[in-house]
Amino acid sequence: MKFSTVFSCLIFFACISVKANIKNFQNPVYGTISVATYGAIPDDGLDDTQAIRNAIAAAIATNSPQIVLFQAGRYDLIEAGSNNFYIRLLNANNIILRGATINNEPATRLVRFNSGIENADLPFLLQIRFSKNIGVENLIFDNDPYYYTAGIVTEKTATTV
């Protein structure tokens, strides 16, 4: 009888420990990296692409959960470079790209330069590959000029937007 009681207690405490470890894994503590620190300034009319890439690269390099924080305003994405992506998260884990809100509405716009050439292939605005636990919050994705505007999210599931 004593053996079964002791064994049951050990199993109970082991389950609590495993549950706590799973909870800590699911709710990690996030640090914050501001894109402004890397030179991405909203509403200045300058290309913010490389500065945003640098902030994201710094977040990934920490190997710890990070929020990449954007202020309210317009960030211009002009030079995609040879890889044909403005913003790319590759082999990233536990990263949140977070824009600002005003009156509970997204107030951060990432605006892709549009050459205006009909049927032109525009570079990808955002690509996420080989990554886990990536969040995108309060960001508006758009084009300028607005020939092919991004629109609004009308449906979101676990795997698609």
Encode pLDDT of 47-103 as tens digits.
999 999 999 999 999 999 999 999 999 999 999 988 899 999 999 999 999 999 999
Give this prediction's pTM.
0.75
54-63, 103-112, 123-132, 151-160: least confidently modelled range:
151-160
Please state the three-class secondary structure of the chain as a single string.
CHHHHHHHHHHHHHHHHHHHHHHHHHCCCCEEEEHHHHCCCCCCCCECHHHHHHHHHHHHHCCCCEEEECCCEEEEECCCCCCCEEEEEECCEEEEEECCEECCEECEEEEEECCCCCCCCCCEEEEEECCEEEEEECEEEEEECHHHCCCCCCCCCCCCC
31-35, 60-64, 83-87, 145-149: least confidently modelled range:
145-149
* pLDDT at residue 12 in the model: 42
Mean of per-residue pLDDT scores for the chain? 83
